[in-house]
Amino acid sequence: MGRTLGEGAFAVVKEATEKATGIVRAIKLVDKKNSDKAALEREMNVMRVAGRHRHIVSLVDEFELPNAWALVLELVKGGEVFDRICEGGLYSEADAAGVVLQVARALEHLHGRGIVHRDLKPENLLLVDKSQHSDIKLCDFGLAQFFGEGMPDMVGRTGTIAYMAPEMLAGKAYDEAVDLWALGVILFILLGGYHPFDPQGATPDEEVARRVQRGAWSFEDPAWKPVSSDAKSIILSLLAPDPTKRARVADLLASPWVLGHSASPAPLP
């Protein structure tokens, strides 16, 4: 085991080297005191069904320690988008569009397999390397769930308040459109440099929840002056309060702003 790569609410993730091969991985250690076996099984099942994808962290192996369960993951070396935001300030529109494109591709893959992530936020978007146009991989399937035929309706708050969709906060049944709401919040942060419902980062959760449900956000801050109207309309379509009117993954993948600005390199032949 090597250095700590990151910590979340449920786990600590460390670098680790497989002795037999020398391959370096990430190991997510989930404390048995903080989690139950069923939740962990679900996280692993989701990751197995998700399989391998360019924009999704893959599960390599799993084992049990006396005090923790260990998920062996593909190592992602560039740190969190969260830290890049904190260090570097604003993203250019091209870079932000690249993030949207890559997350949309990951969501297309997940939603197509009946998986909703439910915890999209900058902490769970990892950079493959430290370069400006690094690829992104989605991590943390700890709150992900299967949806669709045979699965119960999803209802109740799951995830992080500041990224929860209004229908979830209101206690209504919700679907995979909650991931698109969260992506809208992320895009707002990337281009505006602050959280739409918590500009100072110090608003109590219940007040954030009220603002989300009232739709209390705007582009009035001077930070939005230089931002294109195409970018703003993508944010508006993702932050649509009615989930049936919200932008879908297919809309993003057909959007000239998302595709045209993308810094993502052409796929290899």
The 3-class SS string of 87-125 reads HHCCCCHHHHHHHHHHHHHHHHHHHHCCEECCCCCHHHE
Stretch that binds Mg ion, among 45-53, 74-82, 119-127, 130-138 (CB under 5 A): 119-127
Binding partner of 57, given Mg ion, ligand ADP, none, CB within 5-8 angstroms per partner class: ligand ADP
Alpha-carbon span 118 to 3, nearest angstrom = 28
From candidates 43, 62, 140, 167, binder to Mg ion by CB under 5 A: 140
Strand order in the sheet with 59-64: 4-7, 11-17, 24-31, 68-73, 59-64
Nearest to 75 by CA among 141, 137, 8, 10: 137
Under rule CB under 5 A, which residues in 55-94 are in contact with Mg ion? none
Is 28 annotated in a binding site? The answer is yes
Write down the H helix ranges in the chain.
37-50, 81-88, 93-112, 166-169, 177-192, 205-214, 229-238, 249-253, 256-260
We find the least distance from the C-beta atom of residue 140 to Mg ion, in angstroms, to be 4
Q: Candidates 1-9, 89-97, 154-162, 172-180 — which segment interacts with ligand ADP by CB under 6 A?
A: 1-9
Query: Which of positions 19-78 make contact with ligand ADP (CB under 6 A)?
Result: 26, 28, 57, 73-76
Q: Which of residues 5-24 bind ligand ADP (CB under 6 A)?
A: 5-11, 13
Q: Which of 95, 119, 140, 198 is catalytic?
A: 119
What would the two tokens of residue 260 be?
Answer: 């045209």
- Residues identified as active-site: 119
Residues that bind ligand ADP (CB under 6 A): 5-11, 13, 26, 28, 57, 73-76, 80, 123-124, 126, 139-140, 142
